Structures are given as structure tokens and as C-alpha cells.
Amino acid sequence: MNKIRISIILLLSIFILGIGTKSFGQELTGDEIDQLIKKMVDARLRHQFMGDLMIKRFGNKQPRIFRKRIWVDSPNRIRDEIIFPDKKKSIIRILNEDDFETIVDGRSILSRQRRHFKPRFPFLKRIEENYDFNIVDGGIIAGRETKLVVVKPKLKDRTNFKYWIDKETGIVLKKEVLRLKGENLIPIYEKSFTNIDYKPPMRPDLFRIKNKRIRRIPVPSFKTEEYETIEQARKSIKFPFLTPMNLPEGYQLDRIRITKERKNTTIHLNYTNGITSFSIFQTRGTIPLNFGKIFREENKSVDDIIEIERENRSIFFRKVGLFNMTLIGNCSKELLIPVIKSISP
């Protein structure tokens, strides 16, 4: 009887050790990748926490570093405060139930009802097709034990990623984005928690606007519809919309949204390879307000193709006939330039 017990214990030990070896140091299977990504995506809203986040952006100049404080009380109660070293006052964003409020210098500049989209994971298959995943021990981040998920692209000259994940909760405590320069991987973006507390925030007033005199500026009414195919979307509007003829390898159409406002219609096409993505916005008439502001700040004139880099994102603008095309993506500009050039009637 003792021999049977010892055999069972040995078999269980081998099984447990086998799981540990699979989790640390070997490539993951498709199902394991699915489970890992879903856990990472859902973790931020499953756990109540507050923390200090440090963000670094690398470029030709010195890395720009700023700090963000985050409070998460529930999926519908989130507050973050962005602190820039060269500015006296921070930018506060509060999501309280359905109201989203951005406050700069004590004044509200945006108030709107949050749009809800059903969470989907169609990109999981594309991630498996375009990237290799590997898990190793990540050490200690913000006083927490982590797993390091190393994400390597299968195609050359694509972006690499590293994620340090809290072993207990699944929250991403640190993220690095790297690009190949010569034979070396160079970091271009990094964010990491310097402090995190998983106890629920004790101050409910953090999620309320204290100053009742703040004037809310309403956003013009709009209606957004989502479509599965381009053919369905084309039937819903009275004018043709343009699509790129040259897509980077591994990228596929993920979402199609058409937003109709009083004086304008915006077509939004989103393409992804699972982790990185880019969006093409087509409007007839004026440029969308958020993009128009960027162009004015950069003192750019609309000649052929405008190229702007902002916060680890590449933005391109091109006028094609009666339409304004805006392309924005978090992938390299070398991939995006052929895309914007290939858009034609």
C-alpha cells in the first residue's frame, strides 16, 4: 500500500514539474496563447487597484518620461491622472459609470456617453500565425512576482514585445516595445508600474467631479454602426469608400465602423495582425477634429502625403479626390507608407 502511495506522489510530482517546465522556457500552443491573452486583457478590470505608472518614449531626442496615476474601482469607475514634468498641472480623466470626463486646468473639455462594443477575440488566430510566444521568469516588478512573456514576430523587421505579468492577478506590470535596428533590438516605448496596491480605492470621491460649476461641452450627436463585411458597409452609404490595395503581410481587416453625424460621415477600417494594428479613417469634407488639431500644431500643409509621429504612433494624411484619408497605426512607418500610397479611387 505504501508503494502505491509513493508511486502516486511521484507521478503527481512529475506532472506538476512538467507543467512548470512548459510554462517557463518553451513556446506556447494556440490554446495556451488564447488563455494567456484573455487573462491579460480581462485582468485590469477584474481587480480593484491603484498604482503609479511610469511611461518612457524613446526617439531621436532624449526619452520623454511622464508619470500616470491610475485608480480602478470597477470596469465603469476608472480614474487616471497624467503628470508631465514640464507642466504645473496634470490632466485628469474620469470614467464614472457612463460619463467620461477629461479635465485640464480645472475645466472640463469633454463629456460624452461611453460607447460600448462587444469584446471580441478574432485576432487570437492571427497572433498565433504572426508571433511566437515564450514565457520565462520575470523577476520582481513593483514588489510583485512576475512572468515575462516574450513575443517575437515570425516576419522580419517587425515589432517585438515583452510583457511582465503579475503571477497572481494577470495584470501587466511592465511592457516594452522594441524594434530591430541593424542586428540589435532597440526599445522605443516602455511603461511600468513603480507601485501598485490591489486593495480597493478607499476614496469614492476620486470618481466624482467635485466642482459642480464645471461647464460640460456636449459632443455633437452621432450614430455608429459596425459591419462584418465591406459589401454590407457599402450598401449603407450613398457614396463609395476607398480601401488600400497594398496590405502588409499578416494584416487582415478586423473591424468596419461607419459613424454618421449631422454634416459628415466617417468610415473607419481597422486592420491588425493580432498585436499591432492600423486604422484608416475616410471622411468627405472636413478632417476629423482630433486629427485636424494635430495637423495645425505641426504646421503642416496638405500637399500630397503628410507624415506625423505622435506618442509611439505614426499618422499619415492624404487627400484623394473628394475624400480625406487619415491613417494612424502603432506599427512602423515603413509598413504604413505603402498602404497610404496605395489608396486610390
What pLDDT shows up at residue 228? 84
Mean residue pLDDT of the chain comes to 77
Q: Which set of grid coordinates corresponds to residue 20?
A: 512548470
Please report the domains of the chain, with CATH numbers, ordered by start residue. Answer: 24-197 (2.50.20.10), 223-341 (3.30.200.100)
Count other Cβ atoms within 10 Å, centred on residue 119: 8
Report, as an integer, the average pLDDT of 252-278: 87
Would you give the end-to-end CA distance of the chain in angstroms? Answer: 80
Beta carbons within 8 Å of 153's beta carbon, 6+ residues apart: 130, 131, 132, 159, 160
Give the highest mean pLDDT range of 15-24, 73-82, 129-138.
129-138
Q: Which set of grid coordinates corresponds to residue 140?
A: 520582481
d(CA 35, CA 11): 26
What pLDDT shows up at residue 12? 32
Count other Cβ atoms within 10 Å, centred on residue 255: 17
What amino acid is encoded at 116 in this protein?
H
Count other Cβ atoms within 10 Å, centred on residue 343: 19
CA neighbor of 135 nearest in space, from 256, 55, 253, 20: 20
Q: Decide if pLDDT at 198 tops 80.
A: yes
Q: Which set of grid coordinates corresponds to residue 9?
A: 506522489
Q: Decide if pLDDT at 23 tops 50.
A: no
Is residue 311 very low, low, confident or very high in pLDDT (cuts 50, 70, 90)? low
What are the angstrom distances between the C-alpha of 99 and each of 75, 76, 186, 207?
13, 9, 39, 11
272-311 burial code (b ≥16 CB/10 A, e <16): bbbbbbbbbbbbeeebbeebeebbeeeeeeeeeebbbeee
Q: Which of 126-135, 261-270, 294-303 has the lowest mean pLDDT?
A: 294-303
Q: Decide if pLDDT at 121 tops 60.
A: no
